[in-house]
Chains A and B, each alone.
Chain A
Amino acid sequence: MMSVGRTSIPIGVVFSVTGSYRTVGQEMANGALLAVSEINDDPSFDFEFQPIIRDPGGASDDYRIHCEEILRDRTVRHIIGCYTSSSRKEVIPVIEKFDALLWYPSHYEGFESSRNVIYMGASPNQHIVPLLGYMLRQFGRRVYCLGSNYIWAWENNRILRGIVQAVGGEVLEEKYHPVGSTDIGHFISEIVALRPSFIFNTLIGDSSYAFYRAYTEAGISNLAIGPKRIPVASCSLSEPELISIGSEFATDHIASSVYFQSIDRKQNQGFVERYRRRFGASKVTSADAEASYIAVILLARAIRECESTEIEAVKSALRGCRVEAPQGCVWVDPDNNHSYLTPALGRSRSDGQFQILWTADAPVKPDPYLVWLDPSAVASSFTNTADHMHLKVVP
């Protein structure tokens, strides 16, 4: 690092703020940019970040093209970006070619560990495993799976099948729908006919919102279904998405996430306040925004620590960096470049927030390959449920 004045460090910020999953993309971009301004306003850092912002519009190819263009300028070593797994898979070869570091802020399906990626989002043992533990225990073992036709849904359903079969349950259907399509009504009649214990939803973006609307609406005329009777469980549903769904359709859905805006923690209150001050008083925060926010904060601290932007130095320095994040304490596991995070489960409320049903006692070590999972014990080991659906809402 140069010592005269404040060095400007360019970092890539590559999120789709247009396209079918723009809601989440915007959240991630917002989280990253909020952290950039906080770092730039903080005199304890002798550098400032200069974000190079790109919008691939949800097209996987464009992620690769943008990242390649950013990295061709050899001064850029770090990119915060990607949401879908297909976009990450597209970008990784480019990142590895330029020996840069991708700070990936999304929960994902696991089974990957690149030395050129810092995984800030939840691994499967931090999202789907606790969610299934809860759902199988509370609602039963006959599961209907509905997802967008790509790797996130396929692989989550693959993990789900492994666990459901191990506990003697049954996957009634595993249906996939084209990304972006909202023609979703025919799944409702199938759900009515099959009466599963619960629905596992891995649809993303507009398809997911269309499903929540159609399903909630169907539950009004048919009391045998609907979110109160046969709940919809998701590893990705977030607060901004509840707004996109529409408040009349956004109640009683169950989500697994390492962050909810309703987490009662002073670091979270500060985060929500600063987020609203910057992006608007009506805005809500989300796991996606929090993860990209933490990614930039950790990057800044590691650079300050090692006085370099080179990736090996930054990764070494990360070993000593722990952030008291909005969700709890977060740090990167040097074993696999994934993050220690605090899993939680929530149920959506009519006010667009989540009632927290359960929170892990402490940050959980990431296990991207599910090496330490005992599938047959998932439901029985989940004894830490502090709450049930019908208990009173804890504000």
Chain B
Amino acid sequence: MAARAFASDQACIPNFRGKRALVLHPGDLNANAIADQLGRLGLSVSMCWPAEQVTAHAAEIVFFDVDLGFEGLFAWPTGEAPVPLIAVMGSEALGRIEWMLAQRPSAYLTKPVGSTGVFSALAIAAHNFACRRASEDRLRQLEGRQQKRGVLLRATLELMRRHGVGEETALSMLRAESMRRRMALEAISTWIIDGGWLQADAGAGERMQGKRPRRGTG
């Protein structure tokens, strides 16, 4: 999709030409209005209703009817759509909104669908979906780092014990070794916890154990 199409530093003109859209909605004026507008915007459109256990392999963006939507409409786990979803809403009843929110759509349209709204919904959905993907990737990265931080702490304590140095010095030793061996700090830490010895350890009068850290474990 035209991710980040509206980011201020890049003025690329958002274009959805050639993208495949799937419209899960009974074939009425609303569905036609969406399909017509998607056609004008250069997308290829498939209409499908009734539908069940829909997979996204055939589409890069999915419009779905909130009024008739049900658990089991999509094949993916609730809220984990692999492509941007656009909710098409008529009823504003609590249950419908609740079900719609659980699908985590990237944008929505209200019925009756007019000649405005489809283009902005596409742009918003593409943007939100890309932002969410980026946030989720970042979150995974941070969680990984968080886990590794425990390893770092244990390695620091180990060096403090071996050498009788303070926390700052132990951390400096870790960093120096990390740079010398061009390995991630976390990988060096794991190696130390597993009983590895630094050159600095040997310099401090202790014997090298002959174990060498394996590269690329970070």
Contact = CB atoms under 8 A, between A and B. Distances in A.
Contacts of A116: 115
Nearest to A336: B40
Contact of A162 (B12, B17, B37, B114): B12
Contact of A371 (B11, B41, B115): B41
Contacts of B116: 112, 114
Interface in A155-194: 158-159, 161-163, 165-166
A369 B41 contact: yes
A82 B151 CA distance: 69
Chain B CB within 10 A, most for which of A111, A162, A370, A371: A371
Contacts of A111: 119
A109 to B, nearest CB: 12
Contacts of B40: 113, 335-336, 368-369, 371
B12 A375 contact: yes
B169 to A, nearest CB: 51
Contacts of B41: 369, 371
A375 B42 contact: no
Contact of B11 (A158, A336, A368): A158
A290 to B, nearest CB: 26
Interface residues of A, number: 23
A115 interface: yes
B115 A162 contact: no
Contacts of B11: 158, 161-162, 165
B10 interface: yes
A114 B113 CA distance: 11
A90 to B, nearest CB: 14
A165 B10 contact: yes
Given A111-B119, A112-B116, A113-B115, A371 B12 contact: no
Number of chain B interface residues as a range: 10 to 19
B117 to A, nearest CB: 11
Given A96-B114, A162-B12, A165-B11, A371 B42 contact: yes
A96 B116 CA distance: 11
A335 B38 CA distance: 11
Interface in B14-71: 15-17, 37, 39-42
Given A96-B114, A371-B42, A159 B13 contact: yes
Contacts of A112: 115-116
Interface string A122-162: 00000000000000000000000000000000000011011
Contacts of B119: 111, 369
A115 B17 CA distance: 21
Interface of A: 96, 111-116, 158-159, 161-163, 165-166, 335-336, 368-373, 375
Given A114-B114, A369-B42, 11 more contacts: A113-B37, A113-B115, A114-B116, A115-B114, A162-B13, A165-B11, A335-B40, A369-B119, A371-B15, A372-B17, A375-B13
27 contacts: A96-B114, A111-B119, A113-B37, A113-B40, A113-B115, A114-B114, A115-B114, A116-B115, A159-B13, A162-B11, A162-B13, A165-B11, A166-B12, A335-B40, A336-B40, A369-B40, A369-B42, A369-B119, A370-B13, A370-B15, A371-B16, A371-B40, A371-B41, A371-B42, A372-B17, A373-B15, A375-B12
